Amino acid sequence: MARLAVLTCLVCAVLAAPALALSNGLARTPPMGWNPWYRFGCGVTEGLVRQTADAMVRSGMRAAGYRYVNLDDCWMARTRSRYGTLRADPKRFPHGIPALAAYVHRRGLKLGIYAAAGSMTCAHFPGSRGHLYHDAHTFAAWHIDYVKLDGCFTSPREKGPYAYGRMRAALRSTRRPIVFSVSAWGFNRPWLWAASRAHLWRTTRDIRPGWASAMRVADANQALASYAHPGAWNDPDIMQVGNPGLSPTEGRSVMGLWSIMAAPLLAGNDLRHMSWVTRSILTNPEVIAVDQDRAGVQGRRFQSAGGRELWIRRLANGDRAIVLLNRTAGRATLTADARAIGLRPAGTYFVRNLWSHRLTTTAGPIAVVLPAHGSAMLRVHAG
């Protein structure tokens, strides 16, 4: 028994040890982009992807930092070619993936793709088991920039360091710079082993439309703050900002929490038909600057009482970003103290409201009145 415990511990140590990032210089800040899955499911077509790339440019999202236009499940044909190569569905992608990549690249954007480590993708398309090397080289030949490797129809081992390590080696052997995303939903605790194999790893099961799911995911993801660093990010899944089920107030809170958690910012809505409010939430430069802060320190929740929460993130220039979050079902006043959020002592603190873009000063006390599910995101600087 004791020997088993020692052995298990050795395995833990080996898995946890490489705190090094994948280190191909990519994703030094959390990747930003778009993913169609929750809004479009298997309805994705090359027309949609092209229009989304155009919308990303037109809406100002590219200028705000969004780069990756990603495919998810269902882009494939039901079978591989006779040479074992993955193929795009000929009806929905009649011009093929390389042409789509060229279109996206011409707009200064990057193209992401989806595959699964097991026998099939979650929607029953061909899996990459036994083909990891071949598929990695196919993606590189197609000029793909981002690969999400899902975990459906896998053995427990395939949802872990073994399969993802092999895919990382396969991707590396292509010599193409490709962002690698682990989608194993928190199985086998990827935060312990994925940093040396990938740039981001899902920490939870799938997010669902609506507030309750966003909060469930945020709760789990914030607890893993210490595992994130430049090149290696906890991924709480695609944002639902602008999708049915999330009000603008809730959308602002989600964008703020994802940013304070240094999460990948993957929009999951229909970029072609965004309201002005949705666009202004997704492109807020001051909130994005927090997400993309070069220190890459993930923030987390520091206080929680009766649905009133204080989240804090340390920024590269010494400032603190904070989110005051009202999770109650009614209006509430939330308070914080600038002297107690890790800043150096000062007579005056400058408080920048990242949603209203107003600057105020305080000797310490901060108070905000927030609607149900509302939040304030502030950047505090010791004067």
Where does the chain show beta strands of DSSP type E? Answer: 32-34, 68-70, 110-116, 146-150, 179-183, 200-202, 233-235, 265-267, 300-305, 308-314, 320-326, 332-337, 349-353, 358-362, 365-370, 375-382
Cβ neighbours around 174 below 10 Å, total:
16
Nearer to ligand GLA, 150 or 270 (CB): 150
Q: For ligand GLA, which residue of 59, 138, 181, 183 counts as binding (CB under 6 A)?
A: 183
CB 154 within 8 A of CB 118: yes
Which span (11-19, 115-123, 135-143, 271-279) binds ligand GLA, by CB under 6 A?
Answer: 115-123
**Nearest distance in Å: CB 222, ligand GLA:** 20
Residues 44-73 interacting with ligand GLA (rule: CB under 6 A): 72-73
Residues 275-314 interacting with ligand GLA (rule: CB under 6 A): none
**Nearest distance in Å: CB 35, ligand GLA:** 8
**Nearest distance in Å: CB 41, ligand GLA:** 8
3-state secondary structure 143-175: CCCEEEEECCCCCHHHHCHHHHHHHHHHHHHHC
**Rounded Cα distance, 32 and 14, in Å:** 31
In the shown chain, the binding pattern of residues 139 to 158 toward ligand GLA, with x for contact by CB under 6 A and - for none, equals -----------x--------
Structure tokens at 179: 């962002």
**37 belongs to the binding site for ligand GLA (CB under 6 A):** yes
Closest residue to ligand GLA, based on beta-carbon distance: 122
* Identity of the residue numbered 36: P
Structure tokens at 53: 């790339």
Which span (121-129, 245-253, 327-335, 356-364) binds ligand GLA, by CB under 6 A?
Answer: 121-129
**Rounded Cα distance, 135 and 132, in Å:** 5
**Rounded Cα distance, 73 and 116, in Å:** 9
Q: For ligand GLA, which residue of 122, 178, 194, 265 counts as binding (CB under 6 A)?
A: 122
Residues in binding contact with ligand GLA, number by CB under 6 A: 10
**123 belongs to the binding site for ligand GLA (CB under 6 A):** yes
**Nearest distance in Å: CB 127, ligand GLA:** 12
Instruction: Name which of 283, 355, 284, 363 is nearest 323 in CA terms.
Output: 355
Nearer to ligand GLA, 38 or 142 (CB): 38
**89 belongs to the binding site for ligand GLA (CB under 6 A):** no
Nearer to ligand GLA, 137 or 205 (CB): 205
**Catalytic positions, please?**
150, 206
Nearer to ligand GLA, 76 or 322 (CB): 76
- Residues 6 or more apart from 362 whose CB is under 8 A from it? 338, 348, 349, 351
Residues 224-243 interacting with ligand GLA (rule: CB under 6 A): none
Instruction: Name which of 70, 88, 203 is nearest 146 in CA terms.
Output: 70
Nearer to ligand GLA, 185 or 227 (CB): 185
Nearer to ligand GLA, 191 or 349 (CB): 191
**Rounded Cα distance, 164 and 130, in Å:** 13
Q: What pairing do the DSSP bridges indicate for beta strands 332-337 and 365-370?
A: antiparallel
Q: For ligand GLA, which residue of 105, 172, 174, 206 counts as binding (CB under 6 A)?
A: 206
Which chain residues interact with ligand GLA by CB under 6 A?
A: 37, 72-73, 121-123, 150, 183, 185, 206
